[in-house]
Amino acid sequence: MNTTMTPEHEPAGFRHTLRRFLARFRPGPRAWRGATWGVILAAALLWIVMSAYAFGPAGLLAFVLGLFGGLLAAALLGGLVLLIGALLRIPPLHYRWALIGALPLLLLSYMLAITVAFGVIAVVLGVLVVSTLVGAGVAALVGVGGQRLTRLQRGLALIGLVVGLMGLVGGAVLLLIDGFPRTPPINAAAQSSGNVIPLALPDPSQPGPYRVQTLFYGSGEDRRRPEYGPGVDLRTMPVDGSALLTGWSSLRSEYWGFGPEALPRNGRVWYPEGDGPFPLVILLHGNHPMEDYSDAGYAYLGELFASRGLIAASLDQNFFNLSMSADLILVSPLQSENDARAWLLLEHLRQWQAWHTTPGNPFYGKVDLDAIGLIGHSRGGEAVAIAAAFSRLAHHPDDASVPLNYDFDIRVVAAIAPVDGQYMPGNRRLPLEDVDYLVLHGAHDMDVITFMGARQYARIAFSGEQERFKAALYIYGANHGQFNSDWGRQDFFGPSMQLFNLRTLMPGADQEQIARVALSAFLEATLHGEAGYRDLFRDPRTAAAWLPDTIYLSQYQDSATVRVAAFEEDIDLTTATLPGATLRGENLTIWREQVVPLKRGDLESSAVYLGWDHAATEAAAHYTLSLPELPLGPESVLSFSLADADEPPTPDAPRAQEPRAPLDLTLELRDDAGNAARLPLSHYALLQPQLRGRIAKADFMHALPLSEAVLQTFVFRLGDFAADNPALNPAALREVRFVFDRSPAGVVILDEIGFRP
Mean pLDDT for the stretch of residues 2-18: 51
Count of positions (residues) in the chain: 757
| Tens digits of residue pLDDT in 442-464 | 999 999 999 999 999 999 999 98
Mean pLDDT for the stretch of residues 622-648: 95
Instruction: Show the CA angle centred on residue 92, arms to residues 86 and 93, nearest 5°.
Output: 60
| CB-neighbour burial class of residue 572 (10 A; exposed 0-12, middle 13-18, buried 19+) | exposed
Task: Residue 527: name the closest of 305, 349, 688, 679 by CA.
Answer: 305
Mean pLDDT for the stretch of residues 535-559: 97
* Angle in degrees, 0-180, between the axes of helices 151-176 and 117-142, rounded to the nearest 10: 140
Mean pLDDT for the stretch of residues 165-188: 89
> Are the C-beta atoms of 681 and 638 separated by less than 8 Å?
no
Q: What is the DSSP letter of 394?
A: S
| Tens digits of residue pLDDT in 477-486 | 999 999 999 9
| Poorest-pLDDT segment among 86-90, 190-194, 380-384, 482-486 | 86-90
Cα–Cα distance measured from residue 525 to residue 482, given in angstroms and rounded to the nearest whole number: 25
Phi, psi of 755 (to 5 degrees): -130, 140
Phi, psi of 718 (to 5 degrees): -60, -35
Cα–Cα distance measured from residue 140 to residue 158, given in angstroms and rounded to the nearest whole number: 9
Helices of type H across 318-464: 338-357, 379-390, 453-459
> 7 by DSSP, 3-state: which?
coil
Burial string for 705-732 (b: 16+ CB within 10 Å, else e) reads: bbbbbbbbbbebebebbeeeeeebbbee
Strand-strand pairing, 621-626 and 637-644: unpaired
Cα–Cα distance measured from residue 492 to residue 696, given in angstroms and rounded to the nearest whole number: 13
Torsion of CA 17, 22, 25, 26, to 10 degrees: -120
Model confidence at 415, in pLDDT bands (50, 70, 90)? Answer: very high
The reported pLDDT for the residue numbered 103 is 80
The reported pLDDT for the residue numbered 335 is 82
The reported pLDDT for the residue numbered 20 is 59
Rounded mean pLDDT of the chain?
89
> Are the C-beta atoms of 401 and 363 separated by less than 8 Å?
no
Task: Residue 699: name the closest of 441, 504, 476, 491 by CA.
Answer: 504
| CB-neighbour burial class of residue 430 (10 A; exposed 0-12, middle 13-18, buried 19+) | buried
| Poorest-pLDDT segment among 144-153, 309-318, 405-414 | 144-153
pLDDT above 60: residue 421 = yes
> 402 by DSSP, 3-state: which?
strand
Model confidence at 17, in pLDDT bands (50, 70, 90)? Answer: low
Instruction: Show the CA angle centred on residue 148, arms to residues 144 and 154, nearest 5°.
Output: 95
Instruction: Show the CA angle centred on residue 425, arms to residues 420 and 428, nearest 5°.
Output: 70
pLDDT above 60: residue 677 = yes
Q: Which residues contact 193 (CB under 8 A, 6 or more apart)?
A: 541, 544, 685
Amino acid at 688: Q
Q: Count H helices and E strands in the chain, helices first.
A: 14, 25
Cα–Cα distance measured from residue 634 to residue 424, given in angstroms and rounded to the nearest whole number: 44
pLDDT above 60: residue 432 = yes
Model confidence at 716, in pLDDT bands (50, 70, 90)? Answer: very high
Alpha carbons within 13 A on the beta-carbon side of 177: 13
Ranges 244-253, 327-336, 467-476, 612-621, most confident = 467-476
pLDDT above 80: residue 754 = yes
The reported pLDDT for the residue numbered 420 is 96
> 364 by DSSP, 3-state: which?
coil
The reported pLDDT for the residue numbered 530 is 96
The reported pLDDT for the residue numbered 82 is 59
Task: Residue 566: name the closest of 290, 754, 309, 289 by CA.
Answer: 754
Cα–Cα distance measured from residue 236 to residue 249, given in angstroms and rounded to the nearest whole number: 24
Cα–Cα distance measured from residue 128 to residue 432, given in angstroms and rounded to the nearest whole number: 50
The reported pLDDT for the residue numbered 7 is 43
Cα 688 to its chain centre, rounded Å, is: 20
Q: Which residues contact 200 (CB under 8 A, 6 or more apart)?
A: 532
| Poorest-pLDDT segment among 13-17, 153-157, 185-189, 300-304 | 13-17
Instruction: Show the CA angle centred on residue 422, arms to residues 420 and 423, nearest 5°.
Output: 100
Residue 9 or 497, more confident:
497
| Bond prior to 659 in cis (omega within 30° of 0) | yes
The reported pLDDT for the residue numbered 26 is 62
> 679 by DSSP, 3-state: which?
strand
Contacts of 196-199 spanning 24+ positions with Cβ under 8 A: 196/539, 196/541, 196/542, 196/544, 197/542, 198/542, 198/543, 198/544, 198/545, 199/532, 199/533, 199/535, 199/536, 199/542, 199/543
| Poorest-pLDDT segment among 72-86, 345-359, 513-527 | 72-86
| Poorest-pLDDT segment among 221-230, 264-273, 486-495, 732-741 | 486-495
Model confidence at 3, in pLDDT bands (50, 70, 90)? Answer: very low
Amino acid at 55: F
Q: What is the DSSP letter of 408?
A: -
Instruction: Show the CA angle centred on residue 427, arms to residues 422 and 430, nearest 5°.
Output: 65
The reported pLDDT for the residue numbered 147 is 55
pLDDT above 50: residue 307 = yes
> Are the C-beta atoms of 556 and 471 separated by less than 8 Å?
yes
| Cross-strand pairs, 268 | 216, 314
Q: What is the DSSP letter of 697?
A: S
Q: Which residues contact 220 (CB under 8 A, 6 or more apart)?
A: 228, 229, 230, 232, 235
Amino acid at 639: S
pLDDT above 70: residue 136 = yes
The reported pLDDT for the residue numbered 8 is 45
> Are the C-beta atoms of 296 and 486 separated by less than 8 Å?
yes
Residue 344 or 13, more confident:
344
> Are the C-beta atoms of 320 and 294 separated by less than 8 Å?
no
The reported pLDDT for the residue numbered 9 is 46
The reported pLDDT for the residue numbered 294 is 96
Torsion of CA 586, 588, 593, 594, to 10 degrees: 180
pLDDT above 80: residue 154 = no
pLDDT above 70: residue 501 = yes
Alpha carbons within 13 A on the beta-carbon side of 233: 13
Mean pLDDT for the stretch of residues 288-298: 94
> Are the C-beta atoms of 711 and 642 separated by less than 8 Å?
yes
| Poorest-pLDDT segment among 85-89, 356-360, 392-396 | 85-89
Residue 508 or 140, more confident:
508
The reported pLDDT for the residue numbered 49 is 84
Domains in the chain, CATH or no CATH each: 18-176 (no CATH), 189-558 (3.40.50.1820), 562-756 (2.60.120.430)
Percent of the chain having pLDDT more than 90? 66
pLDDT above 90: residue 745 = yes
- Segment holding 734, helix H or strand E: strand 733-740
Model confidence at 86, in pLDDT bands (50, 70, 90)? Answer: low
Mean pLDDT for the stretch of residues 108-112: 81
Percent of the chain having pLDDT more than 70? 92
Mean pLDDT for the stretch of residues 296-316: 98
Q: What is the DSSP letter of 654?
A: P
The reported pLDDT for the residue numbered 21 is 55
The reported pLDDT for the residue numbered 201 is 97
Mean pLDDT for the stretch of residues 239-260: 93
pTM: 0.88
Residue 730 or 34, more confident:
730
Model confidence at 2, in pLDDT bands (50, 70, 90)? Answer: very low
Cα 411 to its chain centre, rounded Å, is: 24
Ranges 136-145, 171-180, 518-527, most confident = 518-527
Cα–Cα distance measured from residue 510 to residue 550, given in angstroms and rounded to the nearest whole number: 10
Mean pLDDT for the stretch of residues 518-536: 97
DSSP sequence for 46-71: HHHHHHHHHTGGG-HHHHHHHHHHHH
In 317-456, the DSSP E strands lie at 367-377, 395-396, 399-403, 410-416, 432-433, 436-442
Instruction: Show the CA angle centred on residue 450, arms to residues 661 and 337, nearest 5°.
Output: 165
Q: What is the DSSP letter of 496?
A: G
pLDDT above 50: residue 5 = no
| Poorest-pLDDT segment among 137-141, 262-266, 533-537, 673-677 | 137-141
Q: What is the DSSP letter of 197?
A: P
| Bond prior to 92 in cis (omega within 30° of 0) | yes
Residue 80 or 264, more confident:
264
Cα dist. 569→112, 183, 556, 565, 639 in Å? 40, 42, 21, 9, 19
Residue 113 or 508, more confident:
508
